[in-house]
Amino acid sequence: MLLKTRAILIPTAVALLFSCSNQKGSATPKTDDLYQFKKIDLRPFDIPATIYIPDETAGIGASFKTSIVHEEDFKWYISAGPNFELFIEDWGENAKRMEEFHQKLKASKVFASTIIERKENRLLYKRELIDPIKVEEYKHISYHIYALIPIDGVYYEIRNKPSGDALKTAKLMLTTLKSFKPCPLM
């Protein structure tokens, strides 16, 4: 009887174990997604949040120590080298800033913007000159990120440099945006 019970119980337990670990759409992110990133606590810079910044293994020249500058009350600059620069601005309670930014992108008479990815509070987009120079090697295409993320009732706007970045760098920045979270309560 004991042997028969084990014969049924062990395969059932193994099946349950594998079915739970392979669920699609899991709410917890894979830690592998951040294996090339280091966690930065922003509380010493007056933002009650953490963010993950690419490290030297990301292959974008982020081998420098992360630098955070907070000289103005509502603005921050984060750099992990010359190829990874983010700008954060406190927009207070302005929850409509994302829609304002999106309308501004559409209305530009200089750049055509193509949204590559749009999630609830963040964008990855490509920007091209509308009337480019007719020389192919001077074609201007850049990639940009934009987010408006609320933390403790304050909306933080995050973007990359105005000139944009390479697609690989912009995608790493998008991962950084996804990691921008409130600090856990202690």
Domain spans of the chain?
Answer: 33-182
Would you state the pLDDT for residue 58?
A: 56
Comparing C-alpha atoms, which of 90, 87, 101 is closest to residue 159?
87
Which of 88, 68, 46, 52 has the alpha carbon at shortest distance from 180?
Answer: 52
pLDDT at 55: 77
What pLDDT is attached to residue 24?
35
DSSP track, 16-84: HHHHHHT-TT-SSPPGGGGTTEEEEE-GGGT--EEEEEE-GGGSSS--SPPEEEEEETTEEEEESSTT-
User: Which architecture does CATH list for 33-182?
Assistant: 3-Layer(aba) Sandwich (3.40)
- pLDDT at position 135, please? 63
pLDDT in the model for residue 164: 93
Which residues in the chain show pLDDT less than 70? 1-32, 57-64, 132-139, 185-186
Both tokens assigned to 79 = 């750099």
